[in-house]
Amino acid sequence: MLGLKEAMDALIPDWANYLLKLHLFPAQIVFTIIVIVAFGLIAAGRLNKTIVALGGAVITLVAGYYFGVVYCWVPIFKWFVSGGLVNTALLFSFEDVYKEFISWSTLLIIISIVIITTVASRSGLFEYIILKVVKFSGGDIRKLFLYLCIISFVLTMILGNNPTLIIISTLIFLIDRILDLNPVPHILGILFVINAASNSTVIGSFVNLLVSGHYNLDPTRYLSYPNFLLLGLPFGVISAVIALFFLLHYHKEAFQVPKDKEEFFEIRSRLLSLDEHKLMSDPRLFHRISILLIVTILVFVVAGFFGVPFYVVALIFAVLFLVISGENPEKTLREVNWSLIFFFIGIFIMVGGLNSTGVLENLGSNLGKLTATNVPLTAALVTTLSSTLSGVLYNISVTSALLYVTPSLSASALVNENLVIWSLIYGANIAASLTPIGGLPSLIAVTSLEKEGHPIPWSRFIKIGAPITLVSVVAGIFLLIGFSHILGWGVDISSLLAILYSK
């Protein structure tokens, strides 16, 4: 879409483009204010996120209609000065909203993955695995925590960060109640590991789904399922190790046997005596879901090699899970978080409206000029920018906006766009550990702790989360620099030569 716009603008004389940009300035101000206010309200959490997003979308559409009426002369003017070759509106048409702004393939993937995880979670499979892990640890607190971290990492790769956090945290609260332990260090530890693991697969987080969907899971961008593993998993593992190091440093006492050993050992024996087989309400369904889940993951990987669209594969397996579950599909579909789907639609429309004014493109161009032909500096700039903004303003919202910044930023910086895309992915995902509003898993964890009677203030969260995020960002930058050398993500020679020849 960006390339077509640039090509059409090139047909219009410079003086005419300058005049059009002057008239565009009021629209840029209005749409920028809409996005800033909406993102601020979403981050503040005072109002429902979906209502804010949809409200911002409605205001965007109204403003777009207003400017379309005020600047109704623009299409005629463009047609006249281009010799009859260009005939487009100043900003966008209502047709553009559902054809260009909203990523329907991304929404379809999200809905399909939610259906798969909902059905799989209902089978008791994951609770069964976790109880097996509890027994395998022998009740040793430190071993148990580390094993749960490993399970959390793997489940995040399979289910995504939000379902994994809900499943694991529910069982941690249960275990800690039985053992009379403080759940805060354990929940935070699992949260930070899950946020790190979010980088590992396409379905690891909504950030990954947004970026991958925006680029249609382009394998040349390393956004297909198998390619994502290649670039995302190393950073996920490194970030998880960093998170565990800081957490074990801050909460040493939380992973030691209590002073009253006799009582603790008695309680622990009760925990280890729990029968995991009771979690299988329907053994046949349990085994069917287990097999289907393994097949699903394998097909996700294989389909990526053959270029099969990810949304097609996800939808097919969502239907299979609905059929195998044996329950009324309406019951499962009611459990889909439709509020989140409409939240995404609202964000898509707001960001699409802002992008139509050229603000995000100009932002990318100006940022790119700061790091022209400097690959390490570009990686550092984008990773730091995306992590900082995402930590303060919610990573899903920020990612949606920065996706429109990356093309012009990479073009202006004269570096391979893949480097910028993956810098965005690394920064936005790890930012969920920066503040309680950095990402949806953090919001869920903090809310769950508060409901359980263990509220955690921002200062305590940031005291642990900020160092984890900072060190992870630095590690991610060095990893990206390494990938840039291995994969040839250096200076874009063709763009550089084009500029030199033009001079």
Per residue, what are the HEC states of 284-315?
HHHHHHHHHHHHHHHHHHHHHHCCCCHHHHHH
Contacts of 462 (CB under 8 A, 6+ apart): 434, 435
Query: What is the mean pLDDT of the segment spanning 434-462?
Result: 88
Supply 452's token pair: 């359980």
Query: Residue 479: is its pLDDT beyond 80?
Result: yes
Q: Which residue has the tokens 């984890």?
A: 468
Residue 281 confidence class, pLDDT cut points 50, 70, 90: low
Residue 67, Ramachandran bin (φ over 0: left; ψ between -120 and 50: alpha; else beta): alpha
pLDDT at 3: 46
Positive or negative CA dihedral for 453, 457, 461, 463? negative
For 447, other C-beta atoms within 10 Å of its C-beta total: 13
pLDDT at 43: 84
pLDDT at 2: 42
The 10s digit of each residue's pLDDT in 117-140 is 888 877 777 777 777 777 777 767
Contacts of 337 (CB under 8 A, 6+ apart): 114
pLDDT at 271: 60
- Whole-prediction pTM: 0.85
Residue 63 confidence class, pLDDT cut points 50, 70, 90: very high
Query: Residue 306: is its pLDDT beyond 70?
Result: yes
Distances (CA, A) of 127 to 153, 171, 175, 279, 326: 15, 8, 12, 7, 20
Contacts of residues 211-217 at CB distance under 8 Å and 24 or more positions apart, as own/partner, are 211/399, 211/403, 211/421, 211/424, 211/425, 212/106, 212/310, 213/103, 213/105, 213/106, 213/109, 213/311, 214/103, 214/106, 214/403, 215/421, 216/105, 216/309, 217/304, 217/309, 217/310
For 80, other C-beta atoms within 10 Å of its C-beta total: 13
Distances (CA, A) of 28 to 336, 358, 416, 441: 36, 8, 28, 33
**Domain residue spans in the chain?**
1-91, 104-339
**Residue (of 105, 6, 92) closest to 350 by Cα position:** 92
Please count the residues of the chain: 503
DSSP state of 235: H
Do 247 and 185 contact (CB within 8 A), yes or no? yes
Do 91 and 353 contact (CB within 8 A), yes or no? yes
Positive or negative CA dihedral for 183, 188, 194, 197? negative
Do 482 and 231 contact (CB within 8 A), yes or no? no
Do 116 and 160 contact (CB within 8 A), yes or no? no
Residue 404 confidence class, pLDDT cut points 50, 70, 90: very high
Per residue, what are the HEC states of 28-46?
HHHHHHHHHHHHHHHHHCC
Positive or negative CA dihedral for 417, 419, 425, 427? negative
pLDDT at 141: 74
Positive or negative CA dihedral for 253, 256, 258, 259? negative
- Please return the burial class of 486, using the count of CB atoms within 10 Å of its CB with bins 0-12, 13-18 and 19+: exposed
pLDDT at 181: 76
Query: Residue 502: is its pLDDT beyond 60?
Result: no
Q: Which helix (H) or strand (E) holds 419?
A: helix 417-430
Residue 178 confidence class, pLDDT cut points 50, 70, 90: confident
The 10s digit of each residue's pLDDT in 219-264 is 888 888 888 889 999 999 999 999 999 988 887 776 665 555 655 5
Distances (CA, A) of 255 to 146, 242, 475: 10, 17, 27
The 10s digit of each residue's pLDDT in 350-398 is 999 998 888 898 899 899 999 888 999 999 999 999 999 999 888 999 9
Contacts of residues 84-93 at CB distance under 8 Å and 24 or more positions apart, as own/partner, are 85/11, 86/8, 86/11, 86/12, 88/8, 90/20, 90/23, 90/24, 90/27, 91/27, 91/64, 91/67, 91/353, 91/356, 91/357, 92/64, 92/352, 92/353, 92/356, 93/68
Residue 193 confidence class, pLDDT cut points 50, 70, 90: very high
Supply 425's token pair: 């992915």
Summary mean pLDDT of the chain: 83
Residue 10 confidence class, pLDDT cut points 50, 70, 90: low
**Residue (of 496, 260, 472) closest to 383 by Cα position:** 472
Q: State the helix-helix crossing angle for 338-356 and 14-44, rounded to 10 degrees.
A: 150
Q: Rounded to an integer, what distance in angstroms lies between the CA atom of residue 418 and that of residue 212?
A: 12
Residue 12 confidence class, pLDDT cut points 50, 70, 90: low
Least confident of 53-67, 157-171, 296-310: 296-310
Rg (CA), the chain: 25
Query: What is the mean pLDDT of the segment spanning 184-201?
Result: 92
Cα angle 400-403-408, degrees, rounded to a multiple of 5: 145
Burial call 37-68: b when 16+ CB within 10 Å, e when fewer: ebbebbbeeeeebbebbbbbbebbbebbeebb
